Every structure is written in C-alpha cells, then in structure tokens.
Amino acid sequence: MEDPGTIYFTGTAGAGKTSLVQAFQDWLDKQGHDVVTVNLDPGNEAGSFEPDVDIRDWIRLPQVMQEYGLGPNGAQVAAADMIALKIFEVKQSLDGYRAQYVLVDTPGQFELFAFREASKAIVDALSGDRSTIAFLFDPALARRASGFVSLRMLSATVEFRFRLPMLNLLSKSDVLTPEQLEEVLAWGDDPQMLADGVGQELPTPDVQLSTELFRAMETMAPQTALVPTSASEQKGMDVLYEAVERVFSGGFDEEALEPHDESE
C-alpha cells in the first residue's frame, strides 16, 4: 500500500487550523476515505478536537512549564524541539493506522512550525516526500491588501524553507461579504490587482520597493490560486480535496466527489 498523503495545516494564530482539520476530516470520512488526524501542538486547548495521534500523550505544555520553570512562550519553544525527540514514537503510533490521508494540526504559534529547525526533521520523519503544506490565510488579515501581502510573504517563506508543495487556503471565508471575498480571491489570482490594492491602501508607497517586493515574492514561490474554505459551513472541502489530489496523484477522482452512501 502506498504511503498516505500527509497535509500539514499551518498559519498565523487564530487562522482556524484545528477547525479546518476537523471539517476536512469529516468531509473525507463522508466520502469514504480513510483519514487519520495528528495533533502536533502540545498546548492545544480545543476540547472538541480528538485526534487519532496526539503529541500531548508524550509532551504537555503545563508539564514543560513546571519542570523547566518556563513561562508559556518559553515552554512553547522548548516543547517544539522536544517534539523532534519523540517523533519516532509518534511515527510508530501513526503506522498503526492504514489511511489514505494524514491531516496534521501544527502548533498555534506559526513560527514554532515555520522557523524551528526541528520542524524540518519532524516532517522528514513523519511523511518525507508524501507531504504538502496547507497555509491558511486568516480573513481578518487578508481582507486588506497590505495584510494579504504579509500573508503571501509568510506562505512563500514556508515554501522556501520546506521545499514542499504549498496549498494556500482562505479560511473562515464565510465571515467576508461577497464583495470582499471576490476582491481577496482576485488578489490571489492577479499580482497586478494586488499591487493596485496596496497602492490604494498606501497612497504614497515607495514604487521601487513595492516592485522589488512583488518580484521577490514571485521568485520565492509561484503565484497559486487561493482556495476559499469555511469549516463552520463545510464549504470548499471538495475544492481542497481536488487540490490535494493534484499534489499527490497528479489529478483527482471525480467519483470521489460524489456523496458517499454509508449503507453500502
């Protein structure tokens, strides 16, 4: 059996990573796919999230704080490196499942996944080349052109560091008005429209700096379409699945998008 495709969900704090992991798991289950969820956040406090494999079985943030006399931020940093020491135990637990897809909820603090050297070792140990990263664009930031650019740069940085296929997702798209959603998606498709949006928001930008900035973004990571999703309304899951299938198999199964009859 081929190794499962593993999707690492990351993004800024509050972007909705845990909720989207749960929503996509539910959707995949209804389509008849075997899916496993993994929590890599030792400080995850989402009571409704019950992952199949949970780093908190080995490392818990309150225990790290107490044992090492650290505050919440210092404990998060220490725990991020401790995960790498436990990753083979996590992998062993994960290997006990037979699944087509593995959905990984990464730490709420984006930088703990994106910028710790241990994270690259964790990804290599868990899934290797059968990996992709789903970067969540929080609409609270993405609804403004300057915020969208900042998120695009963070996404490009993650792609640059991990050198893995990237999926850019607009999470919680239901909080945007139809007009706002149309504008944000247009920014994702057309760099010039995004540049114009920045120019309108910042009336006197440094033109040369802006031009070089957009060139750097395009060099670091190709412009990719933004997939709108909503965990609360279960929207965009089919499009997300299609994007995932393009990464792992170069296409997608149209029959898999049909509702699954659980009575079969």
pLDDT at 259: 42
- C-alpha 27/C-alpha 237 separation (Å) is 7
Rounded to an integer, what distance in angstroms lies between the CA atom of residue 131 and that of residue 8? 8
Domain count, the chain: 1
- 115 lies in some domain: yes
Per the structure, the complete domain to which residue 138 belongs is given by 5-247
Domain membership of residue 264 (yes or no) is no
Q: What are phi and psi of 137, to 5 degrees?
A: -90, 115
3-state secondary structure 155-211: HHHHHHHHCCCEEEEECCHHHCCHHHHHHHHHHHHCHHHHHHHHHHHCCCCCHHHHH
Q: Quick count: other Cβ atoms within 10 Å of Cβ 40?
A: 27
Task: Give the count of beta carbons closer than 10 Å to the beta carbon of residue 237.
Answer: 23
CATH number at residue 121: 3.40.50.300
| CA dihedral sign of residues 130, 20, 119, 36 | negative
Q: Look at the block and give the residue holding tokens 């664009």.
A: 137
Is residue 257 a part of any domain in this protein? no
Within-domain flag for 233: yes
Is 174 within a domain? yes
Within a domain: 261? no
Per-residue pLDDT of the chain (264 residues; tens, 9 = 90+): 578 999 999 999 999 999 999 999 999 999 999 999 999 999 887 778 899 999 999 999 999 999 999 998 899 899 988 999 999 999 999 999 989 999 999 988 888 899 988 899 999 999 878 899 999 999 999 999 889 988 988 998 899 899 999 999 999 999 999 999 999 999 888 877 887 888 788 765 555 555 566 666 666 545 567 999 999 999 999 999 999 999 998 654 444 444 444 344
- 258 in a structural domain: no
Residue 173 lies in a domain: yes
